[in-house]
Amino acid sequence: MATVTAPATRVSLPGFLKHRAAAKLALLALAAAILVPLADAQWASGSWPAALTVDLTQPLGRVSDWIIDNRDSHPLFLYGFGYVSNAVVLSVRAVYLVLLAAGWAGVTAVAALVAWRVAGVRLGLGAAAAFLTCGLLGMWIPTMQTLALMVVAVLVSVAVGAVLGLAAGLSDRMDRVLRPVLDTMQVLPAFAYLLPVVLVFGIGVPAAVLATVVYAAPPMARLTALGLRGADKEVLEAVESLGATSRQRLLTARIPLARKELLLGLNQTIMMALSMAVIASVIGAGGLGDRVYQALASVDVGAALAAGIPIVLLAVVLDRVTGAAGEGDSGGGHTGLSRRAGWAYALAAAVAVALVGRFAGRLDWPGSWTLNIAEPVNRAVDWMTDHLYSGVPVIGGTADWAGHFTTWVLDPLRDGLQALPWWSVLLIVAALAWVIGTWRTALTAVLAMAAIGVLGVWKPSLDTLSQVLAAVAVTLVLGFATGIAAARNDRVERLLRPVLDVFQTMPQFVYLIPVVALFGVGRAPAVAAAVVYALPAVVRITTQGLRQVDPAALESARSLGASSGQQIRQVQLPLARPALLLALNQGVVLVLAVVIIGGLVGGGALGYDVVFGLAQGDLATGLVAGAAIVCLGLMLDRVTQPTERRAKKGA
Amino acid sequence: MSTDLSTGTSTPASVETRPPVFSVDGLWKVFGPKAETVPADPELTSLPPAELRSRTGCTAAVRDVSFDVRKGEVFVVMGLSGSGKSTLVRCLTRLIEPTAGTIAIEGEDVRAMDKTRLRELRRHRAAMVFQHFGLLPHRTVVDNVAYGLEIQGVGKSERRDRAQEVVEKVGLEGMEHRRPSELSGGQRQRVGLARALAVDPEVLLFDEPFSALDPLIRRDMQEEVVRLHQEEGRTMVFITHDLSEALKLGDRIALMRDGEVVQLGTPEEIVGSPADDYVREFVRDVPREQVMTVRRAMRPGECVGPDHPGAIAADAVVADAIQVVSRSHRPACVVEDGRCLGVVDHERLLDVVAGTELRKEAV
C-alpha cells in the first residue's frame, strides 16, 4: 500500500502546489502592474521615499524627556511604577543578601543537594562542580548577583505565566486573544524588549528584571495553556462523571495532568530568564552579563571568557536539573514518606554546611583560591591574532575569511538590497510569504516591512536583513547537511546529541565571546555567532523531521531498489517538508536574535542603534530601532511561516 | 413510540415487575447548528441520516430512543461504532446534554435537575466505567479508587478503608500503591471498575469497558462482571459492540443502528426472532444452541410419560437438551415447577440449531 501512496503524494504534491503558487504569483503580478507605476510616479526613489516616513524621533524624545523629568514627581511614577520598582529592588536585594549569608559553601551545598534530590547523584556532583568553578574563576559575587536577579525574575515570570496560562487554558476566548500575542512575543529578539522598560523605569535593576519577566513569561503561559488543553479527554470525562465540581476538576485532575508541561514551562522560563538576565546587562543588570559586556567592549576575550564560563555552567546545570524534574515520573519505588525523608536529610545537610561555613568565617570565596584565566587566555588570543588571523598558508587566516565574507557576501548583499526600489522589496516579501503561507501571513509581512520604511530606518534595517539572509543561508546549508547525516547515521547522531544539548542551552550572549576571539569585531563575527546559535535547532528539527518519515514509505522505496540518494530526494525530503519549513522558520528567528545582539561587537545596523540609544541616553533613536526590530522579526517570521506551523510549534 | 419487546419469557418474572431505574422516552441527541429544531420537526425526523446532514448540517447520534432499565437487570446497548450507543449512555447522566425527550431516574426527571442535584446523581446514584479507563496517572491504585469518595468529601481514613475493601473485591490486593502506568490493561480496568463500585451507586454504566483488552483478559473481566452482578444484583447498563459479550451479559439487549433502537429484547428474542434483515445479518453466526432455550424448542403439551424422562428445565439452553436427548436416544420432557410443559426431540432441537424452526411455524 505504502509503495503506492508515497510516490503518488510526491508526484501530485509539487504539481498541485506549483499550480497554486503560480496562481498566487500571477495575481500578485497583476496587482503590482497596477500599483507599482502609480507608486513609482508618486514617489520615485530607490530607497524608501521620504514623503512616506513619519519622524517619530522627536515626539519619542519628548516623551522620554518628560518621563525623565517627572520620574520623581509625577503620581503615576510615585504611586505606580515607583512601587513596582522599589519592590523589585528590595526583593532582588533580599535574595542577594540571603545568598551571601549562606556563604559559598552553603549555596553550593544547597544547589548540589537539590540537584541530587531532583535529578540524581551525577547532576548533584555536577552542580557542586559548576558552582565551585564559578568561585574558582573569581566570579562568585557576579554569579550571585545574576542568580539573585534570576530568582526574582523567574518567580514573577512563573506567577504571571501560570495565571495567563490558566486563563488561556480554561477559557477559549482568552486563548484566542492570548495565543497570537504569545506566539509573536516568542519570535521577537530579546533586544526589542529592552527599550520600552528602560523608557519607563530607567536603566537599572528594576528595568532588567522586568525585561526578563516580559521575555521569560510567555513560554510558561503557552505551556500551561497547552498542558491544560491537552489533558486526556476521557480522564476529564471520568472525573466529571463522578460529580466533581469545576474547582475539584481543576485541582485534582487538570493541573496534575499538566504536570509535564508545567515543568517544561518552568524549564523554558528559567532558560529564557538566564538568557535575558545576561543580555539585560546592557540596561544595568550587573552580574555575569555585565562582566561579559564590559570585557567585550574592550575586546578583552580572557575576561569575557572568565565570566562566560559561569554563565554556560549555570545554564547547563539549571537546564538539566529542571529538565530531569519534568521527565522523572516520581513514581517507581519511592513512597511519599521516603521521598520526604530524603528532602529532610538534604535540607539538614545543607543547613549544616552553611553553618559550618559561617562559623569557620569563610562566607566569602577565599581570594587565594581563584584562578586567573584571563591572562593566559588573552595570551592565547594574542598568539592566535598573530598566527591565525591572516597569512596562514593555503587556507588563509580567520580574519581573512571574515574580511572575504564581508566583501564578497555581506557587502554585495547589503548594497543590492539597498539599491532595490522600495516597492520591489515589498513585492518580494509579499510573493515569498504568500507562496509559503497564506494571504494573511503575506499581508502581515508586507505591512511590517512597510512600517519599517515609515519609521525611517529603511537602510539600517536592510543592512540587518542582509546579515540575517547571509547567516540563514549558511545555517541552512550546514544545518540540513548535518541533519541529513545525523538522520541517516546513528553514530553521527549519538556524537552530535550531547553537543547540541549543550549548545541549545547556552544564552545567546555567550556566543559572541568565541567569535570575537576568532574573527575580531565587525559584521562577519556577528553573522558567525548567529550561525552557531541557530545551527543546533536547525540540525535537531531536520534530524527529527527526517527520522519521523513514515518507515513504511521508506521501506517500500528501499524494496523497490531506490538508492540512498533517491531515498533522500524522493521520499525523505518531500515527506519531511513541514519539518524543514519549521527548521527554516526557527533558523530565521534565532539568527535575527543574535544578529541584533551582534550590534555589540560591531554588527552595526539596528542592533547598534539600540545599544547607541541606551549608551547615549538617546532613547528615541533606540526605540525607533527597537520598533523596526519588532517589525523585522514579524516580517521574517510571517514570510517563513508555513500554514501548518501553528499545530507543530507546541513547545 | 416505545419499541419495548421485553415480554421475554426467560427473564425471571420478578425482574419484569420491578420498577424501572432509568426510564428513557423519546430521547434525541442531535449535533450541529440549531440542533434543537430537528427533533421537533416531523419532516426532518423522517429523513435518513445522510439527507439530514446535507439539509441541516446536523447529525442525529441518538434518534427517538425509548426504553426502561429495570432494577437489578443488566441492560446491554449494542451496536457498531457510530451507532450512537456511547452518546446514549452519556446522555443518561447528562455528560452529554440530550436535545429532546425525557430521562427519569427512579421517577425523577434528570433533564430538569439543577447543577447540584445533577452532581448528586453523578456522585451517588450512577457511576461509569470507561473504555480507556480514565484513571488519574499521578495517583496510586487506592487513591484512584477512593477518588469518587474524595470528591464527595468523605474523610481520608474512611475513604481509604472503603477503597481497600473494593480493591480486594475486584482482585487487586497487593497493588494498592502502584500507579496506573505500572498495571496491565486488565488491571487498569479493574481499577476503573473499583472506582465506580466504591461510591456504591444504584446503577453502574459501562461504556465499552473491555474493547481495549486482549480476548483472554476480556473473558476474565466479563466473568468478573457476571460474578459481581450475581453477588450484588446491581443494576447495570452495558455498552458494547461485541455481540457475544452482549449475549453473554445481557438480560435484555437494545440493538442500535444509526441512532435508533432496531430491536429490544432478550438475547433469545434477538437471536430467535430478529426484527429485520439488519438484525438477522448481525446474529447470523451466533451459535444458536447456546442462546435459545428449551422453552422455544419444545413441542408444547405432549408429555412422554408420567416420570418425565430427561426432565429438562424450561430455561435451559438447547445445547444442554441436545446432550440429554442424544444420550437417551428419545425425546425429553420440559419441566417447570414440577409441571410438564412439553417435549423436545431430535427434530425440534436440530431445527433450532439450523434456525429453521420459525419458517416451519410460519408454514
Q: What is the pLDDT of residue B1?
A: 39
Q: What is the mean pLDDT of residues A603-613?
A: 79
Q: What is the pLDDT of residue B288?
A: 84
Nearest CB neighbour to B95, from listed A240, A245, A257:
A240
- Band of residue B68 on the pLDDT scale cut at 50, 70, 90: very high
Chain A CB contacts of B150 below 8 Å? 252
Chain A CB contacts of B205 below 8 Å? 241
d(CA A296, CA A298): 5
> Chain B: residue nearest A330 by CA?
B138
Q: What is the pLDDT of residue A363?
A: 66
Q: What is the tens place of the pLDDT at every residue in B35-45? A: 888 888 888 88
User: Which 3 state secondary structure label does DSSP give B254?
Assistant: strand
User: A241 and B128 in contact by Cβ < 8 A?
Assistant: yes
Q: What is the mean pLDDT of residues B261-269?
A: 90
Strand locations in chain B (E): 20-31, 59-70, 74-79, 100-105, 108-109, 126-129, 203-207, 235-240, 252-257, 260-265, 299-300, 312-313, 332-336, 339-344
Q: What is the pLDDT of residue B361?
A: 53
Q: What is the pLDDT of residue A11?
A: 42
Q: What is the pLDDT of residue B236?
A: 92
Contact status, residue A178 vs residue A164, Cβ threshold 8 Å? yes
> Counting beta carbons within 10 angstroms of the beta carbon of residue A490, is it exposed (0 to 12), middle (13 to 18) or buried (19 or more)?
exposed
* Residue-by-residue DSSP string for B170-202: TT-TT-TT--GGGS-HHHHHHHHHHHHHHT--S
Is A335 an interface residue toward B (CB < 8 Å)? yes
Q: What is the pLDDT of residue A642?
A: 67
Between residues A418 and A483, which one has the greater pLDDT? A483
- Band of residue B205 on the pLDDT scale cut at 50, 70, 90: very high
Q: What is the pLDDT of residue B362?
A: 46
Using CA atoms in the order A645, A423, A189, A469, what is the torsion angle rounded to 10 degrees?
A: 80
- Model-level pTM greater than 0.90? no
Between residues A188 and A244, which one has the greater pLDDT? A244
**Considering only A157-166, A414-423, B228-237, which range has the smallest mean pLDDT?**
A414-423
> Chain B: residue nearest A256 by CA?
B138
Chain A CB contacts of B136 below 8 Å? 235, 239, 252-253, 256-257
Chain B CB contacts of A239 below 8 Å? 134, 136, 147, 151
Q: B83: distance to nearest CA of chain A, Å?
A: 19
Q: What is the pLDDT of residue B34?
A: 84
Between residues B177 and A338, which one has the greater pLDDT? B177
Q: What percent of chain B has pLDDT over 90?
A: 20
User: B123 and A242 in contact by Cβ < 8 A?
Assistant: yes
User: A329 and B134 in contact by Cβ < 8 A?
Assistant: no
Query: What residues in chain B have their Cβ under 8 A from chain A's Cβ atoms?
Result: 93, 95, 118-124, 127-128, 130-138, 147-148, 150-152, 177, 179, 181-182, 192, 195, 199, 205
Q: What is the mean pLDDT of residues B276-296?
A: 85
Contact status, residue B215 vs residue B184, Cβ threshold 8 Å? no
Nearest CB neighbour to B122, from listed A241, A253, A329:
A241
Q: What is the pLDDT of residue B191?
A: 92
Q: How far is it between the farthest Cα atoms of chain B? A: 69
Chain A CB contacts of B200 below 8 Å? none
Q: What is the pLDDT of residue B311?
A: 79
Q: What is the pLDDT of residue A648?
A: 40
- Residue A86: CB atoms within 10 Å: 11
> Chain A: residue nearest B200 by CA?
A242
List the alpha helices (DSSP H) in A336-457. 336-359, 374-387, 398-405, 411-419, 422-436, 439-455
Chain A CB contacts of B119 below 8 Å? 243, 245
Q: What is the pLDDT of residue A647?
A: 41
Q: A237: distance to nearest CA of chain B, Å?
A: 8
* Interface-testing mutation among B86, B132, B203, with chain A (most A C-beta atoms within 10 A): B132
User: A238 and B122 in contact by Cβ < 8 A?
Assistant: no
Q: What is the tens place of the pLDDT at every residue in A307-325? A: 888 888 888 888 888 888 7
Q: What is the pLDDT of residue A651?
A: 34
Q: Is residue B193 pLDDT above 50, yes or no? A: yes
* Interface-testing mutation among B131, B147, B197, with chain A (most A C-beta atoms within 10 A): B147
Is A336 an interface residue toward B (CB < 8 Å)? no
User: B151 and A243 in contact by Cβ < 8 A?
Assistant: yes
Q: What is the pLDDT of residue A69?
A: 76
Q: Is residue B295 pLDDT above 70, yes or no? A: yes
CB proximity list for A447: less than 8 A, separation 6 or greater? none
User: How many interchain CB pairs under 8 A, A with B?
Assistant: 73
User: A243 and B133 in contact by Cβ < 8 A?
Assistant: no
Chain A CB contacts of B93 below 8 Å? 241
Pairing of strands B100-105, B108-109: antiparallel
**Assigned C-alpha cell, B133:** 479507563
Contact status, residue A435 vs residue A640, Cβ threshold 8 Å? no
The closest alpha carbon to A211, from A222, A220, A200, A219, belongs to: A200
Partner B, chain A 233-252, Cβ-Cβ below 8 Å? 234-235, 237-245, 248, 252
User: A237 and B150 in contact by Cβ < 8 A?
Assistant: no
Q: What is the pLDDT of residue B237?
A: 93
Q: What is the mean pLDDT of residues B106-132?
A: 90
Q: Is residue A41 pLDDT above 60, yes or no? A: yes
Q: What is the DSSP letter of A509?
A: G
Strand locations in B45-113 (E): 59-70, 74-79, 100-105, 108-109
For A199, A619, A625, the CA distances from A614, given in Å and listed in that order, are: 10, 6, 11
User: A235 and B136 in contact by Cβ < 8 A?
Assistant: yes
User: B136 and A240 in contact by Cβ < 8 A?
Assistant: no
d(CA A304, CA A484): 35
Q: What is the mean pLDDT of residues B180-209?
A: 90
d(CA A151, CA A216): 12
Chain A CB contacts of B179 below 8 Å? 329, 331
User: B127 and A259 in contact by Cβ < 8 A?
Assistant: no
Q: What is the pLDDT of residue A20?
A: 66
> Counting beta carbons within 10 angstroms of the beta carbon of residue A193, is it exposed (0 to 12), middle (13 to 18) or buried (19 or more)?
buried
d(CA A203, CA B305): 112
Q: What is the tens place of the pLDDT at every residue in A613-622? A: 777 777 777 7
Nearest CB neighbour to A242, from listed B118, B151, B181:
B151
Q: What is the pLDDT of residue A302?
A: 80
Q: What is the mean pLDDT of residues A32-49?
A: 68
User: A331 and B132 in contact by Cβ < 8 A?
Assistant: no
User: B135 and A241 in contact by Cβ < 8 A?
Assistant: no
CB proximity list for A220: less than 8 A, separation 6 or greater? A157, A158, A160, A161, A162, A164, A165, A265, A266, A268, A269
- Band of residue A192 on the pLDDT scale cut at 50, 70, 90: confident
> Chain A: residue nearest B128 by CA?
A241
Task: Give me chain B's average pLDDT, please.
Answer: 84
User: B122 and A256 in contact by Cβ < 8 A?
Assistant: no
User: A234 and B131 in contact by Cβ < 8 A?
Assistant: yes
Nearest CB neighbour to B177, from listed A235, A241, A335:
A335
Q: Is residue B7 pLDDT above 50, yes or no? A: no
Q: Is residue A382 pLDDT above 80, yes or no? A: no
Nearest CB neighbour to B122, from listed A235, A243, A252:
A243
Q: What is the tens place of the pLDDT at every residue in A566-580? A: 888 888 888 888 888
Q: Is residue A284 pLDDT above 70, yes or no? A: yes
Query: Which residues are paired to B357 by β-bridges?
Result: none
- Band of residue B53 on the pLDDT scale cut at 50, 70, 90: confident
User: A329 and B179 in contact by Cβ < 8 A?
Assistant: yes
